Amino acid sequence: MSTEIVYVGSKPILAYVTAILTSFNNNPEKVVLKARGRSISTAVDAAEVTRNRFLSDLTSEITIGTEQMQGDDRGPRNVSTIEIILRKSPEAKKPSGS
């Protein structure tokens, strides 16, 4: 199975929710949201809106870190990063036995 990646920036939250839902239509193993700096809160909001309003069977795993970026004349600066890995629950993939 594949992995879909959604890079989060300055667009509205629902644009990323739509990207997540579209990515899950391709039946990937997981969808990864990646964001840096001020976009981190947008990524968290997009994951939560997707989970609470559209796909309640999602599980999430979060990885945080720091990247060094070349700053202005003051030298390198540290920027926070986040990866939110969304997967459908294994129970949701099983067909219901009626």
20 domain residue, yes or no: yes
Q: Which amino acid is at 70?
A: Q
Q: How many domains does the chain have?
A: 1
pLDDT at 1: 60
Indicate if the pLDDT at residue 3 is higher than 70.
yes
| Structural domain containing residue 41 | 3-90
Residue 97 has pLDDT above 70, yes or no: no
Residue with tokens 């999602």: 58
Q: Is 65 a member of any domain?
A: yes
Q: Phi/psi of residue 17, each to 5°? A: -60, -45
Distance (Å, whole) CA 85 – CA 1: 15
* Confidence band for 84, pLDDT divided at 50, 70 and 90: very high
User: In the block, which residue shows the tokens 């999430």?
Assistant: 60
Which CATH number covers residue 62? 3.30.110.20
Q: Is residue 98 part of a domain?
A: no
d(CA 54, CA 87): 13
Average model confidence (pLDDT) across the chain: 90
Residues of the chain with pLDDT > 70, as a percent, come to 91
Residue 55 within a domain: yes
- The structure tokens listed for 68 are 């060094």
| Mean pLDDT in residue range 56-68 | 94
The predicted pLDDT at position 98 comes to: 45
- Residue 74: the pLDDT is 81
Classify burial at 98, counting beta carbons within 10 Å of its beta carbon; exposed 0-12, middle 13-18, buried 19 or more: exposed
Q: Look at strands 58-70 and 76-88 and give their pairing.
A: antiparallel
Residue 96 has pLDDT above 60, yes or no: no
User: Would residue 16 count as lying in a domain?
Assistant: yes
Residue 97 covered by a domain:
no
